[in-house]
Structure 1
Amino acid sequence: MRIVIIGSGSIGMLVTFYLTKKGHRISLLTNRQEQARVLNEKGIHLIIHDNERESVKVSADTFKDLQANGSIDLLILAVKSHQVKDVLAKLNQLHINIRAILFLQNGMAHTELLSTLEIPEVAVAVVEHGAIRENDFTVLHTGIGRLKWSYVCEGQGRIKDLLSKSTQLHFDISYDMQWINVLEQKLIVNACVNPLTGLLDIKNGELVKNDYCLSMMKMIFKEVMMILNFKQENDMWNHVKDVCLKTAENYSSMLLDLKYNRKTEIDSIIGYLVRRAKEQNQEVTILPFLLQGILAKETKVEGNVD
């Protein structure tokens, strides 16, 4: 089975490492030829708990060198949410026959594209692990979580076959029957944590340690829960705070994107929620403010598939 991962950022490298370590043969596609060269030469190095270092050999190539009229048995899309549409369009232009696809994105804007797919097997997943790409071949596994996934349409079960055989130490995988629930629970956390840390330039833990930050986060949480019509409000609020505590020393991905002048995933997280509120004729004020605030801080950069 030909398994291809597109996206060689922190999550793409993390997933490639653990799937390769489990014995799967993975082709990792990156944006830059230099990174592909280094990965083929050095493999992926993973650092966990600041001292444990492991490495695996990988097969890497560039996305632009993908050959037309080929086939991919299972594609794992690990690019940023705002890059998904362009990557899918390029694959379509190349007439790549994709038999199964697994989306690994923050937010839910990519779900707006699901109805346009002509792929027989589709699944979505959220990654609760903390990961930072240190360089072109090294990823820091900064927080142990799990990969939660769910089918949108099952097809021949290629994704199930892969992931059911891939759980291992430090990389737990779990399945949920309701794909919307999987994404919405992660969306709530991302909406509460990422934009606020980005605007205030603080670590995740400050959101619960500082009373003013906690109050601001609760305002965001209230609007998100209203839009999603999420019933288990108390449990979810406790979960959001627990995530902040468990990742207290971490910087959110949105804050890091702003720091390094990269396009953020604000549209897939807050933009999606604002559009959904509008469709439901719900009045929201905090979320549009967050959206505009992050967009104001963004530096325009050309997109890529790292």
Structure 2
Amino acid sequence: MAADFVAVDWGTSSFRLWVMGCDGQIHGESRGPEGMIYCGTAGFGPVLAEHLNRAKASQNLPVLICGMAGSRQGWLETPYADIPTLVADLASQAIQLPDQLLTELPNFRDIRILPGLAQRDSAHPDVMRGEETQLLGLAHQAIEGLVCMPGTHSKWATLQGDTLTGFTSYITGEMFDLLSRHSILKHSMPESRSIAPDNPDFLAAAEQTIADPSFLTEALFPLRAGVLLNYRDQKETQARLSGLLIGAEVGRQIANRHVKSVTLVGQKGLGALYAAALTHAGVALRCVDAEDTARQGLLATATKIWNLK
């Protein structure tokens, strides 16, 4: 069967493209590090054109994009859709790129960007871009309840049927990067950033902040002192920092919601750490692959937009 459309997941520092059929078959793909940050100077059109060429995408195929290409610093800002919302309704709010932005893509006339989601609550304002496509994929599979989506800015969202009712963002991944690279703790960190999910130092630290998330800031400086006084080495310290940060996030969520089960939209490495922390906290997990789920969300949305059969 021939391909029907092109799906693109455009992150802050990554790019993924699939040439797909309406049956879900992948006819070609291309990926790279040309995320929104890179495109700020290189331009979005040339990057997309290059990846379409690499994936051997037929001309005139419609293209559906999710993620940071629709941000304020992206290719074309797409307004946020407000929650609560039926996630399937996002298809009707995709914005088609005008001709003046398609000079590098003259044969691809129908390119659309999905909106992000906004929680317009003055007490708990929040936004997401890209993760909503994973939620579309989950809703398409009739998965509901509390969903954890790890990342630089991880999201915890609640799906009730096909409706997203609320979500919370944590900058846990960014905090790990800032503390390990740009704080006094950087002198106590190894060059390698690999942490095994069964690392006993990771699990012990996670257990502390799962039990009491407020313990986090008190526990940070002793990481530095422990290395200076030869109680721990750098790899142990790095694992403890990760455990403290992820544990505080998990602890906050399960304490607030009395959580018994979570759908974890995981990715290699980071997803395994969240799975270990949640399992250690006694939470039952349903694990799904982040990339597959995003692709399923793009497929369901493209099928609705272009009435693909």
Q: TM-score, normalised by structure 1?
A: 0.33
Q: TM-score, normalised by structure 2?
A: 0.33
